[in-house]
Structure 1
């Protein structure tokens, strides 16, 4: 007799099915963290580069103001009529730039104070050249301070690039300082001819100090630009900078030599000094737009690279996420296909069956038309008359 097999229920394999999903989730979290972190760093660098471009724009507007202010100072010290047209135009252009980007660079307050001083300068030459020299000196100090403020708040002073750092240092600090010191040196030489002999010793000391103040930033400017020319991959910067740079260097050296009093009378050749200053200003006028254009080009190129880096980070993060999701989905589906779903096995079959087939009695043979049940014959025997003859004989 066949004994019915017991029904065996297998415990669901939920932990095995959840393992790929848990593993994919565990890997997805650090990937998401790295993507977000990298994208934030790229955004911070991009904001810095964009703000630096605003600083370049502001420095471009301050260049004409510096040149016009030094020309007005020279006219006031020499007793010539002061033309305010060039200075007023430069001030209006700078005011337009400040009204647009001064709030972001936090330079509006300093510009307002400088503009008030500029507008307060007399339109006519002062009767006292010494007073004019002092008054213009206060304004130029404020102008140099504004240059430094723009470099600081725009981030130019902390630029991470080699070429861009030397470019911004040269055009934002060394160049305006050299222009102001050069103008003061020539104007003090003019004043020295009018001072009494008792003040000659003091005048010689002041000339030496201004000569050093003009030579130091001029030398630093030459070094900065020479470094950029030697290391930059741009061929245009070298061709456009070398000629005006050589002219500027020669003009500054001539100024330094001509500002040393010679002879017993300690006289200076004011005509040659003025010519050397004009040559230096002309070289600066050529250098400044070239440097600013190159600096802006480097920053724009950096912005483009940062945009590409941001897209690469997002693309790599998205691809990693899709791969992890695909890994989790494939693991989940493979586990489901391996798990028996309602499969039955015969009694005594493998132990891995979910449930055994219950025992059922053998099927009864079909009844005859008269209702009797045919006798089952053993295998190998026939149901004919020969089978019953021994039984009939015994009876």
Structure 2
């Protein structure tokens, strides 16, 4: 009977040996994509917040120029000497800021135009209030356009948070427009009082239109800041903003009351005082808004930095876990291959007699088979016939 030899086990193929690494690689690819996507999104948000901070710095410099320009316009319209020192200092500060961050905010060309217009105001004669009112108004329009440019190029207009969006809208658009318009409203009241009686009705119509232009952004400032306080998670925002906001709101209400034309027109003295109070309240409110906006952006940047470190930590942990899994799979594969090789070696080796137990006594040698007939021993053979007769 032929016993078939045991079949040798097949050695694992190359694909079988590489399968653990392929599985780990298949898991590593989506993990890497998720980590990369999270890192890129966080970095983009951080870059935007840092750029917005540059816009806040530029708006702070432009706020000083706006205040000085409104005061210079009021002095020129009322026939007082224009204090050029305050305006020149504000211009120099804004020029320094533009030289530092103007390239990144794409504002250098606009600032050059504004500065040239401001320099041209030096040679104006104080004897012509009407032309001074027009010239200063043109410079103020360019300055407001620069405010809008800075908000757009810095990304403040695209701020994703509710509180910081309302703050930047108030500080970068509504409040500068309200300050300029309130100054024009008070100065126009002064000019109307000096015009001939024939031109008084047309002047009052112009004043009424300018009153709407001045009060609309001022009321928007109040609404925006209250919305920012209501929608913010910061506990400091309301405490810091509401007090100067209330002062500004009262000054705006007074300006609205004294700029309403009555039967005898408007009281130029009361209107000028209301405009001055509004300007002072806005001067106190503007730096508070910018400071709170910058604080929110700093807090956001800190949070994004933490998110980036968490993203890196998550990626490192995922790589370590996948590496540990790969090591386990590779080790298991190597052990399986060693067992397969050992089994194949044992099946192919020739059979060898098993060695007995050394502690057991040796078994007696088996006797040889005795031949029959004549080949038997002589002693047995001679009694064979006798045994047969019996």
TM, length-normalised to structure 1: 0.87
Cα distance in 1 between the residues matched to 2:332 and 2:354: 40
Moved more, 162-171 or 10-19: 10-19
Structure-2 residue corresponding to 1:45: 45
- Structure 2 residue 331 is matched with structure 1 residue 333: yes
Measure how far apart 1:270 and its partner are: 2.1
Partners of 2:187 and 2:272 within 8 A in 1 = no
Moved more, 191-200 or 21-30: 191-200
Partners of 2:185 and 2:275 within 8 A in 1 = no
Measure how far apart 1:193 and its partner are: 0.9
Cα distance in 1 between the residues matched to 2:296 and 2:353: 92
Partners of 1:81 and 1:125 within 8 A in 2 = no
Structure-1 residue corresponding to 2:176: 176
Measure how far apart 1:123 and its partner are: 5.3
- Structure 2 residue 172 is matched with structure 1 residue 160: no
Structure-2 residue corresponding to 1:283: 281
**1:329-348 residue CA offsets vs partner (Å, 9 max, x unmatched):** 2111111112236425xxxx
Cα distance in 1 between the residues matched to 2:285 and 2:158: 22
| Correspondences of 1:361-376 after superposition (within 5 Å) | none
| Correspondences of 1:283-362 after superposition (within 5 Å) | 283-339=281-337, 340=339, 342-343=341-342, 355-359=347-351
| Correspondences of 1:240-259 after superposition (within 5 Å) | 240-259=240-259
Cα distance in 2 between the residues matched to 1:91 and 1:167: 24
Cα distance in 2 between the residues matched to 1:166 and 1:391: 129
**1:27-53 residue CA offsets vs partner (Å, 9 max, x unmatched):** 111111111111111111110000000
Structure-1 residue corresponding to 2:386: none
Cα distance in 2 between the residues matched to 1:158 and 1:3: 85
Partners of 2:65 and 2:87 within 8 A in 1 = yes
Superposed CA RMSD: 2.6
Cα distance in 1 between the residues matched to 2:330 and 2:36: 28
Cα distance in 2 between the residues matched to 1:194 and 1:362: 133
Measure how far apart 1:71 and its partner are: 0.5
Structure-1 residue corresponding to 2:73: 73
Cα distance in 2 between the residues matched to 1:190 and 1:114: 26
Alignment gaps of 5+ in structure 1: 345-351, 364-375, 384-389
Cα distance in 1 between the residues matched to 2:249 and 2:346: 95
**1:321-373 residue CA offsets vs partner (Å, 9 max, x unmatched):** 221121122111111112236425xxxxxxx777422256999xxxxxxxxxx
Partners of 1:5 and 1:359 within 8 A in 2 = no
Cα distance in 1 between the residues matched to 2:354 and 2:137: 121
Cα distance in 1 between the residues matched to 2:261 and 2:83: 30
Partners of 1:4 and 1:359 within 8 A in 2 = no
Residue 391 of structure 1: which of 369, 377, 382 is its match? 377
Structure-2 residue corresponding to 1:348: none
Q: Work out the number of aligned pairs and report it.
A: 368
Q: 1:10 to 1:75 in 2, by over 3 A?
A: same
Q: 1:362 to 1:118 in 2, by over 3 A?
A: closer
Q: Return the structure number with greater helix share.
A: 2
**1:278-300 residue CA offsets vs partner (Å, 9 max, x unmatched):** 22122112111111111001000
Structure-2 residue corresponding to 1:273: 271
Cα distance in 1 between the residues matched to 2:81 and 2:53: 38
- Structure 2 residue 103 is matched with structure 1 residue 103: yes
Partners of 1:84 and 1:123 within 8 A in 2 = no
Moved more, 99-108 or 352-361: 352-361
Cα distance in 2 between the residues matched to 1:204 and 1:63: 30
Cα distance in 2 between the residues matched to 1:319 and 1:28: 12
Q: 1:246 to 1:342 in 2, by over 3 A?
A: closer
Alignment gaps of 5+ in structure 2: 356-362, 370-375, 383-390
Measure how far apart 1:161 and its partner are: 0.3
Partners of 1:237 and 1:290 within 8 A in 2 = no
Structure-2 residue corresponding to 1:55: 55
Cα distance in 1 between the residues matched to 2:300 and 2:12: 57
Cα distance in 2 between the residues matched to 1:243 and 1:362: 103
Cα distance in 2 between the residues matched to 1:217 and 1:168: 14
